[in-house]
């Protein structure tokens, strides 16, 4: 007996529209017109004999029938994708697409990747760098590393006293799994030359006598760090700002001032003596670094291998190789730097 199944295109249109609650965004994701989405959903509704969406003036919402049907369709798509990945990757070289923050890639991840290649020679890591919020439904990525706060997570009772992170980690959290990877611990760093002839810094307020380097994407970092240290600070009085942590680190290495950065990003330069910590006073941010992936890929062999390896690396403070020179270690594509 032949199966009575709807059109795959119609089901894709329904799932995307239900996820976005917007026909236009569903059309953008599937690279079709809004009219095509509307027609596919109308065909579904006519074949079922029940409405799936309630069309309002400027928005849409799922009907009771739509809400009942959505998880079944989504689960079916997840199962098809899982089975497809298992079939495609069986007995062949596996590829893992990783979307990661630029400076984290350059200063922390890439120096460690040769070790992953040695442990997992059958997995090729392809890196894409970006600070934009990830969208697993529109981007061809398997995992991402971002820094921030997970929406609707248990509130941190100390969040109000910690440096804020305003970065958004994901555009759409539907069926996204997240693991806390590392804390975001901010510490001041500068070049040894900057402190030549200066008396040792004994307390946070003495840093105000030195040029401070700012991050355009972390505008609250210095004010919140000083506030946590019991010092008032007016950011308007200073104007050296950089777009990425690797830029502010390079500025600090050049002796332009004191940068406030996550300790793990500055660790290689501190270990090598290229940077010093003028005041051993650090504050953990309200957010943290997280590993993200699609929920149904969380237990795939490739993702699990990378996740377990990352967890082992986060506690390893030993100096790493300066750069990855093995071409088989990773493909690196810079986006949005």
231-244 pLDDT per residue, tens = 988 776 556 788 88
Q: Is there a single domain that holds both residue 71 and residue 99?
A: no
Other CB atoms within 10 A of residue 155 CB: 9
The CA distance from 162 to 51, in Å, is 48
| Residue 56 placed within a domain | yes
Q: Which domain holds residue 214?
A: 185-285
Q: Is there a single domain that holds both residue 102 and residue 216?
A: no
Distance between start and end Cα atoms, the chain: 56
Q: Is 143 within 8 Å of 293 (Cβ atoms)? A: yes
Q: Is there a single domain that holds both residue 219 and residue 292?
A: no
| Residue 52 placed within a domain | yes
Ramachandran area for residue 336 (φ above 0: left; ψ -120 to 50: alpha; else beta): left
The CA distance from 237 to 253, in Å, is 23
Q: How far is CA 326 from the centre of its chain?
A: 25
HEC secondary structure over the chain: CCCCCCCHHHHHHHHHHHHHCCHHHHHHHHCCCHHHHHHHHHHHHHHHCCCCEEECCCCEEECHHHHHHHHHHHHHHHHHHHHHHHHHHCCCCEEEEEEECHHHHHHHHHHHHHHHHHHCCCEEEEEEECCCCECCCCCCCCEEEEEECCCCCCCCCCHHHCCCCCCCCECCCCCEEEEEEEEEEEEEEECHHHHCCCCCCCCHHHHHHCCEEEECCCCCHHHHHHHHCCCCCCHHHCCCEECCHHHHHHHHHCCCCEEEEEHHHHHHHHHCCCCECCCCCCEEEEEEEEEEEEHHHCCCHHHHHHHHHHHHHHCCCCCCCCCCCCCCCEEEEECCC
320 has pLDDT over 70:
no
Q: Which of 35, 61, 89 delimits the end of a domain?
A: 89
| Residue 1 placed within a domain | no
Q: Is 36 within 8 Å of 16 (Cβ atoms)? A: no
**pTM, full prediction:** 0.72
Q: Is there a single domain that holds both residue 145 and residue 162?
A: yes
106-127 pLDDT per residue, tens = 999 999 999 999 999 989 999 9
Please identify which residue in the block is written with the tokens 């697993």.
Answer: 136
Q: Is there a single domain that holds both residue 20 and residue 167?
A: no
| CATH code of residue 329 | 3.40.190.10
Highest mean pLDDT among 80-89, 160-169, 179-188: 179-188
Q: Is there a single domain that holds both residue 67 and residue 193?
A: no
| Residue 131 placed within a domain | yes
Q: Is 144 within 8 Å of 245 (Cβ atoms)? A: no
Q: Which of 89, 106, 124 delimits the end of a domain?
A: 89
| Residue 61 placed within a domain | yes
Q: Per the structure, how many domains does the chain have? A: 3
User: Positive or negative CA dihedral for 107, 298, 84, 172?
Assistant: negative
Please identify which residue in the block is written with the tokens 């006598």.
Answer: 209
Q: Is 21 within 8 Å of 15 (Cβ atoms)? A: no
Residue 15 makes CB contacts below 8 A (sequence gap 6+) with 70, 73, 74, 77
Q: Which of 45, 74, 89 delimits the end of a domain?
A: 89
Instruction: For residues 178-192, give the mean pLDDT.
Output: 96
Q: Is there a single domain that holds both residue 52 and residue 98?
A: no
User: 245-253 and 263-271 helices cross at what angle (nearest 10)?
Assistant: 30
| Residue 2 placed within a domain | no
330 has pLDDT over 50:
no
- Read off φ and ψ for residue 152, nearest 5 degrees: 65, 15
Query: What pLDDT does residue 325 have?
Result: 33
**Beta bridge mates, 97:** 126
Q: Is there a single domain that holds both residue 83 and residue 102?
A: no
| Residue 3 placed within a domain | no
| Residue 74 placed within a domain | yes
Q: Is there a single domain that holds both residue 207 and residue 273?
A: yes
- Read off φ and ψ for residue 169, nearest 5 degrees: -85, -40
Instruction: Give the rounded percent of residues in the chain with a pLDDT score beyond 70.
Output: 89
| CATH code of residue 33 | 1.10.10.10
Q: Is 336 within 8 Å of 132 (Cβ atoms)? A: yes
Q: Is there a single domain that holds both residue 175 and residue 193?
A: no
- The whole-chain average pLDDT of the chain stands at 87
Q: Is there a single domain that holds both residue 40 and residue 120?
A: no
Q: Is there a single domain that holds both residue 165 and residue 295?
A: yes
Query: What pLDDT does residue 331 have?
Result: 39
The CA distance from 178 to 294, in Å, is 9
Instruction: For residues 212-218, give the mean pLDDT.
Output: 90
User: Pick from 312, 320, 230, 336: which is nearest to 268 by CA?
Assistant: 320
């Amino acid at each position: 007996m032949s199966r009575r199944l709807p059109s795959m295109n119609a089901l894709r249109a329904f799932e995307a529209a239900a996820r976005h609650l917007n026909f236009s965004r569903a059309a953008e994701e599937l690279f079709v017109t809004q009219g095509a989405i509307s027609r596919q959903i109308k065909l579904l509704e006519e074949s079922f004999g029940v409405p799936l969406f309630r069309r309002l003036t400027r928005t849409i919402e799922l009907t009771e029938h739509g809400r009942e049907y959505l998880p079944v369709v989504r689960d079916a798509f997840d199962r098809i994708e899982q089975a497809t990945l298992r079939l495609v990757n069986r007995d062949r070289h596996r590829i893992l697409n990783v979307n990661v923050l630029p400076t984290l890639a350059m200063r922390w991840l890439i120096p460690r990747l040769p070790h992953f290649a040695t442990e997992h020679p059958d997995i090729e890591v392809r890196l894409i760098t970006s600070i934009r919020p990830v969208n697993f439904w529109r981007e061809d990525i398997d995992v991402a590393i971002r820094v921030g706060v997970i929406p609707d997570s248990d509130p941190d009772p100390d969040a109000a006293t910690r440096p804020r992170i305003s970065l958004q980690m994901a555009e759409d959290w539907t069926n996204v799994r997240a693991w806390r990877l590392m804390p975001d611990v901010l510490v001041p760093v500068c070049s040894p030359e900057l402190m030549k002839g200066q008396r040792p810094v004994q307390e946070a307020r003495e840093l105000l006598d030195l040029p401070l380097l700012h991050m355009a994407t972390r505008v609250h970092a210095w004010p919140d760090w000083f506030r946590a240290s019991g010092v008032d600070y007016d950011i308007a009085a200073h104007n050296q700002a950089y777009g990425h942590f690797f830029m502010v680190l390079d500025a600090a290495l050049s002796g332009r001032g004191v940068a406030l950065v996550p300790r793990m990003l500055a660790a290689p330069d501190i270990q090598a003596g290229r940077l010093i910590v003028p005041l051993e006073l650090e504050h953990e941010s309200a957010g943290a670094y997280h590993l993200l992936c699609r929920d149904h890929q969380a237990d795939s062999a490739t993702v699990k291998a990378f996740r377990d390896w990352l967890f082992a690396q986060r506690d390893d403070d030993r100096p790493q190789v300066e750069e990855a020179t093995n071409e088989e270690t990773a493909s690196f594509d810079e986006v949005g730097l």
